Chain A
Amino acid sequence: MKRTVIGFVISALILVALAVWALKGHLSGNIGEIAMAGIVLVLVGFALFVGVSRLRSHRRHEPAEDEMSRQYMTRASSLAFYISIYLWLFVMYVSDKTTLPSHTLIGGGIVAMAMVFFLCWLGVRLFGMKHE
């Protein structure tokens, strides 16, 4: 329960930071910035979905985690780690070809890692895990 509340607080802080960033005029219609804001919203939505599902389980007196949810998380994490290695190789390649500052590349890489994890989690849930 404590972890769920912490997740909600972090999600709320990210949304507030995004709103402040947009209101200060940084969201100027640049496609890259809009895409980044969209990805952050998707990731916050993912965190909120996990939090709400944990709360629902708590209300039903079910365990917040069980063997299946742990295995799905482990599988999604290992897949995301494997893909992220290639993602960082790509970022290194891009860093040589562009003049983007390193903090933008690193920030983009971290957001992309989170997105890769979200997609892996979604894939594992959609296609299941049968060990066959």
Chain B
Amino acid sequence: MNNRIRELRAKEDISQLELARIVGVRRETVVFLEKGKYNPSLRLAHDVAHHFGLPIEQVFLFDDEPAMPNG
């Protein structure tokens, strides 16, 4: 599973630590998420997507599915 967290974070110009505080996890978790080393729980995926104002499927993408339009 891939995700667009790094890209969306850069767009909003917020640090990993700020995003971690917003969604209530450790900075390390955001680092691992961005590297694709950890798949989040549904709750965390929802919180991250909610923060960026996007549906989950536009933030977290499965390898075998094309990227959603309007992302």
CB contacts (< 8 Å) of A78 on chain B: these are none
**Of A8-16, A24-32, A56-64, A85-93, the one touching chain B:** A56-64
B24 in contact with A68 (CB, 8 Å) = no
Q: Which of B20, B24, B25, B39 contacts A131 (CB 8 A)?
A: B39
Closest to B30 in A: A68
CB contacts (< 8 Å) of B27 on chain A: these are 60, 62
B26 in contact with A62 (CB, 8 Å) = yes
Q: Which of B1, B24, B41 contacts A130 (CB 8 A)?
A: B1
A101 touches B (CB below 8 Å): no
Closest to A131 in B: B39
What total count of A-B pairs have CB within 8 Å? 51
- The distance from the CB of A1 to the nearest CB of chain B, in whole angstroms, is 15
Count B-side interface residues using an 8 Å CB cutoff: 20
A107 touches B (CB below 8 Å): no
User: Max chain A CB contacts within 10 Å: which of B24, B28, B32?
Assistant: B28
B24 in contact with A128 (CB, 8 Å) = no
A96 touches B (CB below 8 Å): no
A128 in contact with B32 (CB, 8 Å) = yes
B29 touches A (CB below 8 Å): yes
B17 touches A (CB below 8 Å): yes
Closest to B41 in A: A67
Q: Can you list 27 A-B contacts with CB-CB less than 8 angstroms, sorted by A residue number?
A: A57-B26, A60-B17, A60-B27, A62-B17, A62-B20, A62-B26, A62-B27, A63-B24, A66-B24, A66-B29, A67-B29, A67-B40, A68-B26, A68-B32, A68-B40, A69-B26, A69-B28, A127-B37, A128-B32, A128-B35, A128-B37, A128-B38, A129-B37, A130-B1, A130-B36, A130-B37, A131-B39
Known pairs A60-B27, A66-B25, A130-B38 / 12 extra A-B pairs, C-beta < 8 Å: A62-B26, A63-B24, A67-B44, A68-B32, A68-B38, A68-B40, A69-B26, A69-B29, A128-B38, A130-B37, A132-B1, A132-B39
